[in-house]
């Protein structure tokens, strides 16, 4: 008989304890100041939608353009824009991933604290149960264990209701704590799977970027191989160079006027440049006249091309100065011009992105962008020009240790 009741009792006890293991306390919530919130990630997701929209718009424009030589430059410019949006998408996805990682480590910390609290509360509960058992009469556990029939058990249960109410509140706290832990664990799982998803997407976007860059370079290569198209490109490039040269002069004048107003001295200097990047010393095209490979069309290269720089090398300001132009051109792609003094400028072209804006004061060696192959370019390289006393000088004079690769 006793044996049976004990059996029922241990079940009851097990049920109570199980319930006890399933709880958490309301004060188990941790007042951790979140460095990253779910809101930040939601905002990134919103931005991503905008990027997708911009990309669709560019793709529409591309599909409306005729696939002929006259529209080659426009198509290439749109391709560059599409590539730059893909780069922003990649940055966005990388930000999302680091957001998830931050949230995950915060959640792990909170969980650890909750679990510690739970263990402490549970230990307190067990101590109390053991103490009650020892003191005999006040222990409802032992009272229950002494029941010799079901009705006896029920009457003993009501006798100890008051004691139970107290323990019940402890159990409720434990139950609440357990609920919070489970919720956090579920959130953790959700975050993990979203981070995984973002990582897969990132891989896809990187492959897409790679493919688009190759397609854009291939397009220019094909155009350069076609005499008529190559001449169009060349004419466009020369027009653009002339336009840019005028703009540089105009900006210099504006700057000189502003400086005069501010009673600032702006002295002419020469030399004193560092390399515009530190990855490669290979010069793939020197300054001066060069055979374009097109019959009857030679061109005058206004600067030097530095090859072997890939699409992720930092471009550096070769001398301190003020950024007077930072924009996109159909032939120079993403380019920057820095004014170092009267008649003294440097120009950096075909970058994949720019890190400075017009009016920025830059120090020597400051990152102004990242190398790329934007504009009329058939592969990653940095086009670099120096102007002193208002005319272009050969940058090779200022590029110690360069390797002739043309």
Query: Closer to Zn ion at the Cβ: 6 or 279?
Result: 279
Asked if 383 is part of the footprint of Zn ion (rule: CB under 5 A), the reply reads yes
Specify whether the CB–CB gap between 345 and 324 falls below 8 A: yes
Asked if 350 is part of the footprint of Zn ion (rule: CB under 5 A), the reply reads no
Phi and psi at residue 395, in whole multiples of 5°?
A: -60, -25
| Binding region for Zn ion (CB under 5 A) out of 162-170, 248-256, 307-315, 382-390 | 382-390
Nearest residue to the partner Zn ion, using Cβ: 383
Closest separation in Å from C-beta 379 to Zn ion: 12
Closest separation in Å from C-beta 40 to Zn ion: 41
Q: How many beta carbons lie within 10 A of that of residue 42, not counting itself?
A: 12
Closest separation in Å from C-beta 235 to Zn ion: 16
Query: Closer to Zn ion at the Cβ: 178 or 354?
Result: 354
CA distance 185 to 61: 47
Angle between helices 150-159 and 2-21 (to 10 degrees): 40
Give the one residue of 87, 117, 167, 305 binding Zn ion; rule: CB under 5 A: 305
- Which residues on adjacent β-strands are paired with residue 333? 329
Phi and psi at residue 354, in whole multiples of 5°?
A: -110, 145
Q: What sign does the dihedral 272-278-283-287 (CA atoms) show?
A: negative
Give counts: helices (H), strands (E), the chain.
7, 14
Closest separation in Å from C-beta 349 to Zn ion: 7
Specify whether the CB–CB gap between 383 and 341 falls below 8 A: no
Closest separation in Å from C-beta 307 to Zn ion: 10
| Binding region for Zn ion (CB under 5 A) out of 47-55, 167-175, 189-197, 377-385 | 377-385
Asked if 75 is part of the footprint of Zn ion (rule: CB under 5 A), the reply reads no
Closest separation in Å from C-beta 382 to Zn ion: 9
| Binding region for Zn ion (CB under 5 A) out of 2-10, 144-152, 289-297, 305-313 | 305-313
Taking the CA atoms of residue 36, residue 37, residue 40 and residue 44 in that order, the dihedral angle to the nearest 10 degrees is: 90
Query: Closer to Zn ion at the Cβ: 184 or 354?
Result: 354
| Binding region for Zn ion (CB under 5 A) out of 35-43, 130-138, 172-180, 303-311 | 303-311
Query: Closer to Zn ion at the Cβ: 86 or 352?
Result: 352
Taking the CA atoms of residue 395, residue 396, residue 399 and residue 402 in that order, the dihedral angle to the nearest 10 degrees is: 140
Closest separation in Å from C-beta 285 to Zn ion: 6
Tell me the C-alpha to C-alpha distance, in Å, between residue 8 and each of 147, 148, 155, 256, 404.
Answer: 11, 11, 15, 95, 91
Closest separation in Å from C-beta 302 to Zn ion: 7
Query: Closer to Zn ion at the Cβ: 99 or 372?
Result: 372
Complete DSSP assignment for 68-94: SGGGHHHHHHHHHHHHHHHHHHHHHHH
| Binding region for Zn ion (CB under 5 A) out of 2-10, 351-359, 381-389, 397-405 | 381-389
* Binding interface with Zn ion (CB under 5 A): 305, 383
């Amino acid at each position: 008989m006793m044996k049976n009741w004990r059996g029922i009792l241990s079940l009851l006890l097990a049920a109570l304890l199980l319930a006890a293991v399933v709880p958490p306390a309301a004060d188990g919530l941790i007042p951790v100041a979140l460095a990253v919130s779910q809101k930040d990630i939601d905002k990134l997701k919103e931005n991503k939608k905008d990027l997708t929209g911009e990309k669709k718009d560019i793709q529409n424009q591309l599909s409306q353009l005729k696939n002929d030589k006259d529209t080659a430059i426009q198509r290439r410019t749109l391709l560059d824009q599409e590539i730059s949006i893909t780069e922003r998408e990649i940055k966005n996805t990388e930000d999302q991933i680091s957001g998830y990682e931050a949230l995950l480590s915060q959640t792990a910390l909170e969980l650890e604290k909750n679990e510690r609290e739970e263990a402490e509360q549970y230990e307190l509960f067990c101590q109390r149960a053991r103490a009650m058992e020892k003191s005999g009469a006040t222990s409802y556990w032992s009272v229950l264990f002494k029941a010799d029939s079901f009705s006896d058990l029920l009457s003993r249960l009501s006798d100890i209701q008051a004691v139970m109410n107290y323990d019940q509140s402890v159990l409720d706290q434990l139950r609440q704590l357990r609920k919070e832990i489970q919720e956090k664990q579920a959130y953790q799982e959700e975050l993990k799977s979203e981070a995984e998803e973002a990582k897969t997407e990132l891989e896809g976007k990187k492959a897409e970027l790679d493919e688009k860059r190759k397609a854009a370079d291939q397009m220019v290569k094909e155009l350069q191989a076609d005499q008529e198209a190559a001449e169009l490109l060349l004419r466009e490039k020369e027009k653009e160079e002339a336009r840019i040269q005028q703009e540089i002069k105009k900006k210099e004048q504006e700057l000189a006027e502003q400086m005069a107003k501010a009673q600032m001295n702006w002295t002419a200097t020469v030399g004193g440049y560092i390399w515009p990047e530190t990855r490669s010393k290979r010069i793939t095209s020197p300054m001066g006249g060069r055979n374009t490979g097109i019959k009857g069309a030679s061109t005058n290269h206004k600067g030097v091309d530095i090859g072997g720089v890939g699409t992720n090398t930092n471009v550096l300001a070769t001398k301190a100065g003020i950024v007077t132009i930072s924009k996109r051109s159909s032939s120079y792609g993403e380019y920057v011009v820095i004014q170092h003094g009267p008649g003294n400028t440097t120009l950096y072209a075909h970058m994949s992105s720019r890190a400075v804006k017009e009016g920025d004061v830059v120090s020597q060696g400051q990152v102004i962008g990242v190398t790329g192959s934007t504009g009329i370019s058939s592969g990653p390289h940095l086009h670099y020009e120096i102007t002193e006393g208002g005319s272009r000088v050969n940058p090779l004079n200022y590029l110690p240790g360069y390797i002739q690769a043309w």
